[in-house]
Amino acid sequence: MDTSFIGRLCEDRAASFYTRHGYKILRRNYRTSEGEIDIILKKDDTIVFAEVKSVPPYWSSDDFSRKISQAKVFRIKKTASVYLASDNNDVYHFVRFDAVFVGKDRLTCICGAF
């Protein structure tokens, strides 16, 4: 199966998870020259930048931290700063970076992962 197709399915599951919990999706696959953010959401006065990763079913939660490299975290934060500096009228008091790991039978969201 095509990895981009699997990635899209995982992002769809993550987006559905967030909307079921009251979040509003602002953007998906936001790209700049700095990098890409899978999903940008908001709830109340918090903006969330979510990185979505597919994982095999046998992974434990201890393995999750190794799935996103420090270089990727740096690019996500740079891209988030570009988004926040862009022309939007919303004011956010809190910024959060989540990691969402999607497997065949489960979804694990780590709020404030980095």
Q: Say which CATH number the domain at 61 has.
A: 3.40.1350.10
For 97-113, what is each residue's pLDDT tens digit? 999 999 888 899 999 99
Whether the pLDDT of residue 71 is over 80: the answer is yes
Q: What is the pLDDT of residue 96?
A: 97
Q: Does residue 74 contact residue 26 with C-beta atoms inside 8 Å? A: no
Cite the DSSP H helix spans in 21-69: 61-64
Q: How many domains does the chain have?
A: 1
pTM above 0.85, yes or no: yes
Q: Does residue 100 contact residue 17 with C-beta atoms inside 8 Å? A: yes
Q: Does residue 42 contact residue 90 with C-beta atoms inside 8 Å? A: yes
For 40-60, what is each residue's pLDDT tens digit? 999 999 999 999 998 876 766
Q: Is 75 helix (H, G, I), strand (E, B) or coil?
A: helix
Q: What is the span of the domain harbouring residue 33? A: 3-110
